[in-house]
Structures are given as C-alpha cells and as structure tokens.
Amino acid sequence: MKISEGKKLSELTTFRIGGLARYFVRVEDVSDFKQAFLWAKERGVKLLVLGKGSNCLFDDRGFDGLVILNSIDFCEKAGGEFRVGGGFSFSRLGVISAKEGFGGLEFAASIPGTVGGAVFMNAGACGQETAQVIKEVKHLDLDGDLKTFGKGEMEFGYRTSVFQKMQGAVVSATFSLEESLEAREKQCEKVAYRRATQPLTEPSSGCIFRNPQDKPAGLLIEEAGLKGLTVGGAMISDKHANFIVNKGGASSSDVLTLIDRVKVEVEKHCGIELESEVRVIPYE
C-alpha cells in the first residue's frame, strides 16, 4: 500500500472538479483498507472513501486529508446471485447480469459509479433502484470491524441508506436477481433513452436535485426557464435541466452558485424548494 501526496481530485470525479488531495491511496482488499484506516487514525488525519466520484463535488482547494480509492474489484456468480466488490463498476455489473439473462439491474448500465457508491446512495433510474435487488452488504468500519448487513438492516430510502450515517467502506455486496429473457433488451432500451435525454458524454455529477413528489426536478427547472443558465464554466444542461455540466474550467464555487440560483428561481416560479442530492465535500 503506497500513500502519495498531491493527487488531483479532478481526475477522480465525473464532474472533473476539485483541487489536490493532501494524501491519496488506492486499496484493493480489506487488509489494505484496514491499513489505510489505521494510518489515518495514528496521524489524526481525516479520511474519505471514494469510488468513481460520480456524485461528489470537491472544494476548489481540494481535500485536506486522505482520499482512499476503493478498488476492490471482483465479481462472483452463483445462480442468480452476484457477489461483487465495492469498487466494481456498477454499470459493468448491470451489463454482465443482463447479458447472462438476469433481470433487476437493467437500470445500472450507464450509471457511472461503483457498487459501493450505488449501495451508499441507493442508486436508481427508470423506476428501478438498488434496494430492490440487494441481498446483503459487507461494511468495514474505521476500527477494522467487518459487519454483514441483511436487506432489512440497510434502511434504504430515496437516495439514502444506513451507510450514510456511518464511517467506513462498503467492501462487497450481494445481489439476488431473477432469470429474465428480456433483461438485455430492456437494458438497451433504457440506455438508449438515457443517452437521448441526458448529457451522458459531458462532465457532470448526474442529477443535481432530488425529485419532489409532484413533478420531476428537471421539469420544474425547465419550466422556470433555466435551461442553459451559466455561471463561469458550469451550465444547466440544455438536454436535461436536472444536470449541471462542466463546460470547461468550472469551479466548485461556480456549481454551488448555480445550484443556489436554481433553488431561488424555482421557488419563485412554483413555490417548491428543491433539495440538492450531490455530495459536497469541504476542504477541511
């Protein structure tokens, strides 16, 4: 395990925004995680576990601590159960499972995160979500204790889970899927729809706001006339209004200013207060 200094966080997030991490390490198994946690504890250094950084917005100054990149990257199949590492690509898992004739993770294809991130956020799309097909999760806490969580213990909600209340890392997850001859076809349809309606080829963190009960956030933003609104290098996508895209050189402050502008304008327009779902990570 090699801990380095001065890693560019813009290289580790889908937003392509962020300064330098004071310390950085890539871990590939539970033993590495335990060493990294102990290293940070002994030095009084705060830490952050990261997957693909697809729902993160780092400060322009970076992160004054240790960023641990979860690279536990395995995939084991037994019947309809897929046991995968927390650092395994969630999109890749969706494609593999659908190609092998199992349904439940069709939505995962084209979601640019890891399995650990999907569990942490209860990722979802197109009417499906992670909670529907999860069986168990192994989580490592900062003291090095490994605990197995059953489905009923994970407290899943809309883009939430019990793991957001904890410190540590999702090191593996097991998904229980049903056989489906239509899984791959359905998946291709979902991917085609997302590519046609979302700016998947531009740097972003995915959807910025949680959807209110009555109407999707993107539609509210569009109805307020905010598509294309720009602050610095950050812009409300003209393809899908619930995406902020980095048009080049966007800063964290550009994005946060734009988020605040959207909240104000949408509330003026329809009286609904939008709630951001992007994970804003402070420097200190």
Catalytic residue positions?
159, 207, 277
Residue 45 has a CB neighbour count (10 Å cut-off) of: 14
**DSSP state string for 44-73:** T--EEEESS-TTEEEBTTEEEEEEEEE---
* Strand spans (E) along 151-237: 168-176, 178-179, 204-207, 230-231, 234-236
CA 184 to chain CA centroid, nearest Å: 23
Tokens of 96: 């593999």
One-character DSSP codes across 225-259? T-TT-EETTEEE-SS-TTEEEE-SS--HHHHHHHH
Collapse the DSSP code of 104 into the 3-class scheme (helix H, G, I; strand E, B; otherwise coil) and give the result: coil
Check residue 161 and give left, alpha or beta (phi > 0: left; psi -120 to 50: alpha).
beta
Which residues 6+ apart lie within 8 Å of 35 measured at CB? 1
